[in-house]
Amino acid sequence: MVVDDAVVIRGLLSRWLDADPALAVVASHRNGKLAVDDILRSNPDVVVLDIEMPEMDGMTALPLMLAKKRDLVVVMASTLTRRNADISLKALTLGAADYVPKPESTSEITTSVDFRRELIDKVKILGERARRLSGRGKTMRAETNAGKSASQAPVGALANRPMMPGARAEAAKPGFQLKPYSSARPRILAIGSSTGGPQALQQLMKDIGSTVTDIPVVITQHMPPTFTAILAEHIGKAAMRPSKEAETGDVLQPGHIYVAPGGKHMILEKDAGAVKVRLTDDAPVNFCKPAVDPLFDSVAKAYGSATLAVVLTGMGSDGANGVKTISAGGGSIIAQDEASSVVWGMPGAAANTGLCSDVLPLTDIGPKIVRVLKGSAR
User: 258: alpha, beta or left, given left = phi > 0 and alpha = psi -120 to 50?
Assistant: beta
318, 332, 341, 358: the active-site residue: 318
Q: How far is CA 252 from CA 224, 244, 323, 374, in A?
A: 23, 11, 21, 21
Whether 149 sits among the annotated catalytic residues: the reply is no
The predicted structure's pLDDT at residue 131:
83
The predicted structure's pLDDT at residue 110:
79
The predicted structure's pLDDT at residue 18:
95
222, 234, 256, 265: the active-site residue: 222
The predicted structure's pLDDT at residue 148:
41
Stretches in the chain below the pLDDT threshold 70: 136-175, 377-378
Whether 318 sits among the annotated catalytic residues: the reply is yes
Distance between CA atoms of 158 and 243, rounded to whole angstroms? 39
194, 298, 317, 341: the active-site residue: 194
Whether 29 sits among the annotated catalytic residues: the reply is no
For the chain, domains (ranges, CATH) are 2-149 (3.40.50.2300), 188-373 (3.40.50.180)
Task: Give the pLDDT confidence of 80-94 residue by residue, as tens digits.
Answer: 788 888 999 999 989
The predicted structure's pLDDT at residue 311:
98
Task: Give the pLDDT confidence of 96-150 residue by residue, as tens digits.
Answer: 999 998 887 777 787 788 889 999 999 999 998 888 877 765 544 444 444 443 3
